[in-house]
Amino acid sequence: MKNIILIAPPAAGKGTQSEILVQKYGYTHISMGDLLREVISSGSTLGKELKNIIDSGALVNDDLTIELIYNKLKTLEGKPFIVDGFPRTMYQALEFEKVLTKLNITEYVAVLLDLSKEEAVKRIDGRLICKCGKSYNIYQDNLKPKVDGICDKCGAKLEKRDDDNVEAFKKRYEIFQTNIEPIKEHYQKLQKLEIIDVNRSISEIAEDIEKVIK
Ligand code: AMP
């Protein structure tokens, strides 16, 4: 199985598809958003700064994300991974190549989940998350929790993410659109890019992803 770099606009289903791959193939899922939220949970000064940036929908400092990804990948010792939400800028993409070379990682595919803005808005509006990492959507039948507002997996109360509001979403989506073209070209040139249409069911998307990672 190839390592996966999962690139997608907000609410494209990165978390859901990653969970399927983790369960089926034993991938380690590395979400940059989660790594940053871990720093926020620590309550440090840096964490407080990050919370303000993330809640506004803006991107955090590139060098911090590169440091976080390097430190995490280094612990995996060759086990297959999914990196989700990174790179989000061209600078990150170029620095990421250096990180992969340094760690001797050559087998990977960049999977771009392609989603229309209208669909993304709908998904953001319905998204609920649990502290255990599971994500739900009240507007998608196969993503609804069994009991309203409660996590199927651990029984905790579901919450809305602070940055899942219309203003922050618009900003996150615009930033994604502005940055994605050079990143797409970068992976196209390296012949590593696979584009998957995600305006479809979860299982159809998962099947397509499975075809490109084998
Ligand atoms: P996510 O959980 O992937 O939706 O990310 C949540 C937020 O974390 C984003 O809106 C950004 O503020 C920040 N973030 C996540 N990944 C990155 C990245 N690669 N570069 C900069 N900021 C990021």
Taking only the tens place, the pLDDT of each residue in 157-205 is 999 998 888 888 888 999 999 999 999 999 999 999 999 999 888 999 9
Q: Look up the domain containing 101 and give its range.
A: 3-115+176-213
Q: Is 54 in the pocket of ligand 1 (CB under 6 A)?
A: yes
Cα separation values, 7 from 18, 82, 113, 160, 208, Å: 12, 10, 6, 22, 15
Domain annotation covers residue 18:
yes
> CA-CA distance, 109 to 28, in Å (whole number)?
15
For residue 135 the two structure tokens come to: 């994500």
> CA-CA distance, 44 to 53, in Å (whole number)?
15
CA atoms within 13 A of residue 94's CA, in its CB half-sphere:
5
Domain annotation covers residue 127:
no
Domain annotation covers residue 34:
yes
Stated pTM of the model:
0.89
Phi then psi for residue 92, to 5 deg, are -60, -40
Q: Is 47 in the pocket of ligand 1 (CB under 6 A)?
A: no
Number of domains in the chain: 1
Q: Hey, whose CA ends up nearest to atom 1 of ligand 1?
A: 33
Q: Is 7 in the pocket of ligand 1 (CB under 6 A)?
A: no
Q: Is 37 in the pocket of ligand 1 (CB under 6 A)?
A: no
Q: Output the pLDDT for position 10.
A: 87
